[in-house]
Amino acid sequence: MSNANSRAAASARITVIVFPLIILAGGACGIAWSGPLHAVSAAVPYLLGGVMFLMGITLSSADFARIAHRPLPVLAGVAAHYTIMPATALAVCHLLRLPPQIAIGVILVGCAPSGTASNVVTFLAKGDVAFGVSVTTASTLASPVLTPLLTWLLAGRYLSVPFVSMLLDIVRTVLVPVCAGVLVHAVARPVVAKLRPVLPWLAAALIAFLVAVVMAGAHDVLLTAGLSVVLAVILHNGAGLALGHLAGKAMRLPTAQQRALSFEVAMQNSGLAATLAGAYFTPAAALAPAIFSVWHNLSGAVLAGIYAGRRPRDREHSNDQHSNEMKESWAQV
């Protein structure tokens, strides 16, 4: 492994270990200081917008060129993401007989786009990072339509879902900030390159604050329904990891892309789910997304460690050949 690749791997490992701890600390602060933090709940959409801007600022024209050059595998990955996670969310809600306000949060997580932390664990798992970044980007760009549409289809039986309002909110809090970030990257590439080392930690701080505010609002519900929500999150995420990998096998993707797809399917943009839950439903609905924010990083890191011990059979998608992509994309966490 080259020195550059070793440094990228070390940075990714630190991120995967420390990132969940930062989010967990944010959740603990939300429980400990629920009153003051709940008072600033109006800031949640702006916090998410900041996170999505940081995602956009790490994207370059090469990321979009990869999607245009090989669209079919990426579209297949996005299709797997937006079918497996919504379907398993609904199955978990039925299995555990979750009350409507909790179930809507689980379904919102299932209908959210891929989370950017998936790119870091894909690298550690010796997966195809470039493919993972492409699926993350495409699923995010599709989210203004697919997230509210799927939520309306699956959660309409529980509560009224304002499809149009939700679509416009996702455009404002996801699509516009991502596009703004891409524009900044294009016109200020040297500045972005200098700031790249601090971007993931800034994103982590914003997500931790978002989780703290969400947990503050759901403080009372956590005390009464916490265990059932944690179980729902574990089942949902675990099913996504397993079925995502199986979907890659069914599509006959290379081994490294199968690994990437398992993370792209199961690691969600739970910050978006929490934001939508808080905006349109009750604080109880935001509990599952907040817990998911912590858990999917932990489970992803564990699975990445298991994958890392097994060299991909498809050597053309090895980490050594994707070290350059990783250096460009790992900061998207």
What would the pLDDT profile of 293-320 be if each residue is shown by its tens digit?
888 888 988 898 888 877 666 554 444 4
Nearest to 310 by CA among 257, 266, 260, 255: 255
CATH of span 3-332: 1.20.1530.20
Whether 312 and 259 have beta carbons less than 8 Å apart is answered as: yes
Q: What is the C-alpha to C-alpha distance for residues 143 and 47, in angstroms, rounded to an integer?
A: 18
What average pLDDT does the segment 220-235 reach?
Answer: 83
What average pLDDT does the segment 85-100 reach?
Answer: 95
What average pLDDT does the segment 100-122 reach?
Answer: 90
Say if residue 326's pLDDT is above 60. no
Over residues 258-293, the pLDDT tens digits come to 999 999 999 999 889 988 988 888 878 888 998 898
Say if residue 331's pLDDT is above 60. no
Of the two residues 82 and 307, the one the predictor is more confident about is 82
Q: Write the CB contacts of 246 (distance below 8 Å, at least 6 apart in sequence).
A: none
pLDDT of residue 227: 84
pLDDT band at 131 (very low <50, low <70, confident <90, very high): very high
* 174: amino acid identity, one letter: V
pLDDT of residue 332: 40
pLDDT of residue 159: 80
Angle, CA 324 vertex, CA 319 and CA 326 arms, to 5°: 65
Average pLDDT across the chain, whole number? 84
Of the two residues 309 and 152, the one the predictor is more confident about is 152
Say if residue 235's pLDDT is above 90. yes
